Chain A
Amino acid sequence: MSKPYLKLPALIKTPYYQKVLRTQRDYLLAYWPVWEASGSVGNDISGNARHGAYTGVDLGHPGIGDGHTCPWFDGVNDCVNVYSTSLRDAFNGDEITIFQWIKAVDWGDSMTRRLLQFLGTSEIYIQHGVDNSLYFIRASGGNVGISLPGFIDTGWVPLAITASVSGNVLRAYARGVQEGADQTGLNAWVGTLGATTAVIGAYNSGSMFPAHGWLGPAAIWSIALTPTEIARISTV
Chain B
Amino acid sequence: MTDWRGYFLIENLGLNASQRAILVDELRRLGPGTHSQPSHLCHWRTRLDNDAAIFEALFNSDHLTIQAFKSRLAAIFSVPVGNITHSASTASYSAGNLSNVVVFSYNSIARLRVILFGTNTGNYDQSHSEVLGYLFLNQAEWDTAEL
In the A-B complex, the 4 residue pairs with the closest CB atoms? A38-B36, A77-B45, A58-B39, A56-B43
Q: Would A76 and B45 be within 8 Å (CB), given that A38-B36, A56-B38 are in contact?
A: yes
Q: Would A206 and B135 be within 8 Å (CB), given that A54-B38, A76-B7, A135-B147 are in contact?
A: no
Within 8 A of A (CB), among B29-58: 36-39, 41, 43-46, 54, 56
B43 touches A129 (CB 8 A): no
Among B36, B45, B131, max chain A CB count under 10 A is at: B45
Is A75 an interface residue, CB under 8 A from the partner?
A: yes
Residues 103-120 of chain B, each 1 if its beta carbon lies under 8 Å from chain A, else 0: 000000000000000000
Among B39, B131, B147, max chain A CB count under 10 A is at: B147
Q: Would A40 and B131 be within 8 Å (CB), given that A76-B54, A208-B144 are in contact?
A: no
Partner of A76, one of B36, B37, B135: B135
Is A55 an interface residue, CB under 8 A from the partner?
A: yes
* Residue of B whose beta carbon sits closest to that of A55: B43
Interface residues of A (CB under 8 A from B): 37-40, 54-60, 71-72, 74-78, 109-112, 127, 129-131, 133, 135, 137, 147, 203, 206-210, 212
* Residue of A whose beta carbon sits closest to that of B139: A111
Residues 130-147 of chain B, each 1 if its beta carbon lies under 8 Å from chain A, else 0: 011001100100111011
List of A residues within 8 angstroms of B147 by Cβ = 112, 127, 129-131, 133, 135, 137, 147
List of B residues within 8 angstroms of A75 by Cβ = 132, 135
List of B residues within 8 angstroms of A40 by Cβ = 38
Q: Would A111 and B135 be within 8 Å (CB), given that A76-B7, A77-B43 are in contact?
A: yes
A55 touches B132 (CB 8 A): no
A209 touches B146 (CB 8 A): yes
Interface residues of B (CB under 8 A from A): 7, 36-39, 41, 43-46, 54, 56, 128, 131-132, 135-136, 139, 142-144, 146-147
Interface SS of B by simple majority: mixed
B45 touches A38 (CB 8 A): no
| A–B pairs, 14, beta carbons within 8 Å | A37-B36, A55-B38, A57-B39, A74-B39, A74-B128, A75-B135, A76-B131, A77-B43, A77-B45, A109-B136, A111-B139, A130-B139, A207-B45, A208-B142
B143 touches A112 (CB 8 A): yes
**How many whole Å from A46's CB to the nearest CB in chain B?**
22
List of B residues within 8 angstroms of A111 by Cβ = 135-136, 139
A78 touches B36 (CB 8 A): no
Among B38, B39, B46, B146, max chain A CB count under 10 A is at: B38
Partner of A112, one of B39, B44, B128, B139: B139
* Residue of A whose beta carbon sits closest to that of B135: A76
**How many whole Å from A199's CB to the nearest CB in chain B?**
13
B143 touches A59 (CB 8 A): no
List of A residues within 8 angstroms of B136 by Cβ = 109-111
A57 touches B38 (CB 8 A): yes
B45 touches A210 (CB 8 A): yes
